Amino acid sequence: MTDHDNAYADLLGSDDSQWAFGHLPEIQQGEDPLAGMDTTVPAGLDAAELAAYCLFLGDDALVMSHRLSEWCSNAPDLEDDIALANISLDLLGQARLLLARAAAADPALVPVLPQGSPVPAEDALAFFREAHDFRNLRFTELANGDFAQTVARLLLFSTARLAAFERLAGHVDPVLSAIAAKGVKELAYHRDYAARWFVTLAQGTEESRRRLLAGFTAVWPLQTELAAAYDAGDTAGAVLDQVLAAAGVDRPDVAPMTGGGHTEALSLLLAEMQVVARAHPMGQW
Amino acid sequence: MTAAYAVAASVTDPEMPMLTLEDLGVLRDVREDGPRSRRSVVVTITPTYSGCPAMATMRDDLVRRLAEAGYAARVEVSLSPAWSSDWITERGRAALRAHGLSAPGPAPRAGAPIPLTLLTTARLVTCPRCGSPRTELTSEFGATACKALYRCADCLEPFEHVKEI
């Protein structure tokens, strides 16, 4: 039967459930990404400490995810546009789980929204905190630079985070342990992608090598802070040595960036990321 | 109980509708919640990737289909053990091939630390259209988190390959 008033009707067949425009799902109790999981903090663990650590891991993934998402429709070619968007999505998923874990461990962290707001705890954390409450590193918040700089940053980030997640897969908190074990598979894929591009650019043309070295040098001053925060250790160092050897690149001879806290880059990032959610604190997404 | 499981097992993946959630290995458990007469069930699913955006649709589809069969369903999430492409059933692999997608090979062995792979992932991928083994990777990432992109060197058709994790 043709419905001349609705251009989409014929596309539906008999099942409108697959179509965003045709089906309004009932609001369910199952929206929680940790639905059904036992989020009791194991005895012997400090709930506030566990929450703070998960908040760091979640915030760092969220901010890195947002930076990578800025490449969507801007990457050098379609394949890498898709690759960076996929990596961004994996990290967004990790962020959602980790922020939900932080909120369950220490509900006091979650910003208070108007009475009756349907915004879940992890979204309240992502969209309704100010920059100074974010626990991500300066390493992930700085602007992207060019593709080579993004590759250099992604290599260092995924190498450090993978080393940490391999360790955290054995954490006493079963929720953090499960999130980490799952993330390991994703981060290994991200690291391989970044490492291959790192070597390709370093061994490519004069221009690609120049840009890779410039990008690597630009992100290096915050590498010490990154490795320390993730307690990345020798494993990550050995992987980096392997990539640098294949690329014929030395560790940049630049001093670590001093100071702490956040840079202005985070405020600008959050302004864009949070504006819609903040305009609609009663919104259902 | 078997009846509720059969309903849940027949719900399909929103991105790859040739696969049921059971064939994809995403459906982990269907159990009764309270006395049988209440017809109340708890369904447990696991995401393929942490950021899989299909989870909400899967949840909605499970609740709706079970409601149509007379069950009040609640959907829970399980993260451990993490999903592996090895959980895709033989029937699921055949369905993928029948729809022009290449099924995953064996997942890499989980060992720590995971070694760096600087060369392109070596896979034995045959073209799901013409069966040629002469295929080339065009991208390690595809339209969804679980797929890579390939092209057949003989029939020249591009196709998707479900990644091994």
DSSP class of residue B104 equals P
Q: CA-nearest residue of chain A to B116?
A: A192
pLDDT of B1 > 60? The answer is: no
Residues of chain B positioned with their CB less than 8 A from the CB of A93: 47, 49-52
Cβ pair A177:B114 closer than 8 A: no
Q: Is A12 on the interface with B (CB under 8 A)?
A: no
Amino acid at B42: V
Map residue A266 onto helix, strand or coil: helix
CA dist B150 and B105 (Å) reads 14
Residues of chain A positioned with their CB less than 8 A from the CB of B57: 17-18
Cβ pair A242:B116 closer than 8 A: yes
Q: Which residues on adjacent β-strands are paired with residue B42?
A: B31, B74
Least confident window among A18-32, A138-152, B62-76, B106-120: A18-32
pLDDT of B67 > 70? The answer is: yes
pLDDT in tens, A27-66: 444 479 999 999 999 999 999 999 999 999 999 999 999 9
As a whole number, mean pLDDT of residues B13-20 equals 94
Residue contacts between A and B (CB atoms, under 8 Å): 136
Least confident window among A39-43, A58-62, A139-143, B53-57: B53-57
Which chain B residues in 78-117 lie under 8 Å from chain A, judged by CB atoms? Answer: 78-83, 112-114, 116-117
Which chain A residues in 112-171 lie under 8 Å from chain B, judged by CB atoms? Answer: 162-163, 166, 169
DSSP class of residue B139 equals E
Q: pLDDT value at position A22?
A: 37
Q: pLDDT value at position B34?
A: 86
On whether the CB atoms of residues B159 and B100 are closer than 8 A, the answer is yes
The alpha-carbon gap from B37 to the nearest alpha carbon of chain A, in Å, equals 22
Does A44-250 carry CATH code 1.20.1260.10?
A: yes
Q: Which value, in Å, is the radius of gyration of the alpha carbons in chain A? A: 21
Map residue B40 onto helix, strand or coil: strand
Count of C-beta atoms within a 10 Å radius of residue A11:
12
Which chain B residues in 132-161 lie under 8 Å from chain A, judged by CB atoms? Answer: 138-143, 145, 149
Residues of chain B positioned with their CB less than 8 A from the CB of A165: none
Q: pLDDT value at position A4?
A: 65
For chain A, what are the domain ranges?
44-250
Q: Which residues on adjacent β-strands are paired with residue B43?
A: B30, B75
Per DSSP bridges, beta strands B158-162 and B147-152 are antiparallel
Q: pLDDT value at position A15?
A: 55
Cβ pair B17:A18 closer than 8 A: yes
CA dist B51 and A143 (Å) reads 23
As a whole number, mean pLDDT of residues A245-274 equals 96
Q: Which value, in Å, is the radius of gyration of the alpha carbons in chain B? A: 18
* Nearest partner of A221 among A168, A152, A131, judged by Cα: A152
Which chain A residues in 48-87 lie under 8 Å from chain B, judged by CB atoms? Answer: 79, 82-83, 85-87
Map residue A27 onto helix, strand or coil: coil
CA dist B72 and B39 (Å) reads 6
As a whole number, mean pLDDT of residues A5-16 equals 59
pLDDT in tens, A210-238: 999 999 999 999 999 999 999 998 989 99
Residues of chain B positioned with their CB less than 8 A from the CB of A177: 80
Q: Cα–Cα–Cα angle for A115, A26, B144, nearest 5°? A: 105
CA dist B56 and B133 (Å) reads 37
As a whole number, mean pLDDT of residues A263-271 equals 98
Set out the domains of chain B in order of their start, with CATH numbers.
2-77 (3.30.300.130), 98-108+119-162 (no CATH)
pLDDT of B112 > 90? The answer is: no
On whether the CB atoms of residues B102 and B96 are closer than 8 A, the answer is yes
CA dist A152 and A154 (Å) reads 6
pLDDT of A164 > 70? The answer is: yes
A24 pLDDT band, cuts 50/70/90, is very low
ipTM: 0.94
pLDDT of B76 > 80? The answer is: yes
Q: pLDDT value at position A3?
A: 59
Q: CA-nearest residue of chain A to B146?
A: A86
Q: CA-nearest residue of chain B to A240?
A: B116
Cβ pair A18:B120 closer than 8 A: no
pLDDT of A12 > 70? The answer is: no
